Structure 1
Amino acid sequence: MTGTVPGLPDGMRRVLAVVAHPDDESFGLGGLLALLSDRGVPTAVLCFTHGEASTLHGRPGDLHTVRAGELARAAQELGVKRVELAGHPDGGLVDVPLPPLAAEVARLIGEQCPSHLLVFDSGGVTGHRDHQRATHAAQFAARRAGVAVVGWTLPLHVADRLNAEFGTSFTGPDPAECHVVAPVPRGRQCRAIACHASQSSDNPVLWRRLELLGDRE
């Protein structure tokens, strides 16, 4: 039985998340995906890259393989029903033509019949060009399919605080422009994050962001 999720649009009966890297579904969208799962809303994830270019390497092994396994375990923790991991180049997603990326999204829209796509906001949240490209591909496909898109973002004061403390490039709108979803199940999200040990074991920016957000997205 699906239930209304306060702060999210009515009628979210099935959701496809489109992201660039393994861990985006947990570090960024994990609170929302866990909440949707708790409310009985089936979710799926399309991830465009294996995240092999990351500078974080908290576990031994080839990141191309390691991060694929981490994604599978994290998705299970979040209650995600299906994961599709593509093989596009990490850090080079912007160089992949938009129509083929959108076609991958469109194929899953046809197979999963989502009511909504869930993505990072159009600025990519962290400023990462791969994040932006993944979102643009999702928007392109959604327009053609007539599917609604929900963008995850950070309120401006949180983005500014992180940038001041860590020298990062987070972006975000004025809080008045955001719909707040609360409370989100941070416990489940943190368990999914822990599955990404190669990226989360030494990541103070991530933990500070969650601290600043509390139980709100």
Structure 2
Amino acid sequence: MTEPTITQLEPMPGDWRRALAVVAHPDDLEYGCSAAIAAWTDEGREVAYVLASRGEAGIDTLAPAECGPLREREQRASAAVVGVSEVEFLDHRDGVIEYGTALRRDIAAAIRRHRPELVVTLNHRDTWGGVAWNTPDHVAVGRATLDAAGDAGNRWIFPELTEQGLEPWDGVRWVAVAGSSSPTHAVDATPGLERAVRSLLEHRTYIEALTDEDPETYVRGFLVGFAESAGERFGGKPAVTFEVFPR
């Protein structure tokens, strides 16, 4: 019998200048797609981050009032490693982020502020590949981001945003979902992989609470392992994968 053909992933679209990444928590972007972001900023593209929460409920041994500011600092340092200087927080409550019009409005407002052609978010489905249950925050923010990409361009949805000086932006051409079990496109992770490792390591407090393994060993094993596995569908090159929804 012949071996089944592995469907190869397409390169990500390249004809864009501005991207906005919208996720639920600090470290969400670093667990998988910051190597792509490093490559994009190297090319002179503008990338900004919007986080729905400050991750204040993410460390059992730290009270939210202490944890939130610490994780914000780690996120800003992490973003800087891959060339991102604009990091915004929407201040939804970590762990209980709700899908709905309030979240869609906040994300649509961010899209109108930043006016990206590419929007990046995280897996919005119930599971990670049918193996592990996803968190409600990831599902809510991913789904709301997909919807807000359209909301941002319609002046009759959230008209109060226009009254606040945020004019409609219908320039989003793609929403790219990282961590999807049904990827369609990929970015060569090679140029940005070492910076991706350093970027995730900036979340040291969270990582040390998560695992007893040496942080660098844990981070490198996680990111390199996923990139090399994805590379089987991208010409053998380590890769960051995305499910791309054109608009």
- Smaller-chain TM-score range? 0.7 to 0.9
Are the structure 2 counterparts of residues 72 and 57 from structure 1 closer, same or farther at C-alpha, using a change threshold of 3 Å? farther
**Match of 2:91, as an amino acid?**
G
2:189 to 171, 183, 190: 183
Partner of 1:122: 124
After superposition, the C-alpha distances for 1:154-179 in whole angstroms (9 at most, x for unaligned) are: 5xxxxxxxxxxxxxxxxx23xxx532
1:52 to 25, 38, 56: 56
Higher alpha-carbon deviation: 206-215 or 112-121: 206-215
State the number of aligned residues. 188
Q: Is 1:17 equivalent to 2:17 in the alignment?
A: no
Q: Is 1:134 equivalent to 2:141 in the alignment?
A: yes
Q: Is the 8 A contact 2:35 2:189 kept in 1?
A: no
Partner of 1:101: 103
Q: Is the 8 A contact 2:188 2:239 kept in 1?
A: yes
2: CA distance, partners of 1:122 / 1:100 = 17
**Match of 2:222, as an amino acid?**
R
**Match of 1:186, as an amino acid?**
L
- Equivalent residue of 2:26, what SS? coil
Q: Is 1:200 equivalent to 2:223 in the alignment?
A: no
Partner of 1:41: 45
Q: Is the 8 A contact 2:11 2:187 kept in 1?
A: yes
Structure with more of its chain in helix, by fraction: 1
- Equivalent residue of 1:131, what SS? helix
1: CA distance, partners of 2:78 / 2:92 = 20
Seq. identity, %? 25
RMSD: 2.4
Are the structure 2 counterparts of residues 57 and 142 from structure 1 closer, same or farther at C-alpha, using a change threshold of 3 Å? same
1: CA distance, partners of 2:56 / 2:111 = 26
**Offset, 1:207:** 4.7
TM-score calculated relative to the size of structure 2: 0.68
Q: Is the 8 A contact 2:197 2:223 kept in 1?
A: no
2: CA distance, partners of 1:34 / 1:183 = 9
Q: Is the 8 A contact 1:57 1:63 kept in 2?
A: no
**Offset, 1:21:** 0.2
Structure 1: runs of 5+ lacking an equivalent: 1-5, 155-171
Q: Is 1:63 equivalent to 2:74 in the alignment?
A: no
1: CA distance, partners of 2:100 / 2:219 = 29
Higher alpha-carbon deviation: 74-83 or 13-22: 74-83
1: CA distance, partners of 2:199 / 2:176 = 21
Q: Is 1:153 equivalent to 2:179 in the alignment?
A: yes
- Larger Rg belongs to: 2
**Offset, 1:25:** 2.2
Q: Is the 8 A contact 2:124 2:141 kept in 1?
A: no
Structure 2: runs of 5+ lacking an equivalent: 1-9, 154-169, 229-237, 241-247
**Match of 2:40, as an amino acid?**
L
2: CA distance, partners of 1:56 / 1:120 = 23
2: CA distance, partners of 1:211 / 1:44 = 24
**Match of 2:150, as an amino acid?**
R
- Equivalent residue of 1:17, what SS? strand
Q: Is the 8 A contact 1:119 1:135 kept in 2?
A: yes
TM-score calculated relative to the size of structure 1: 0.77
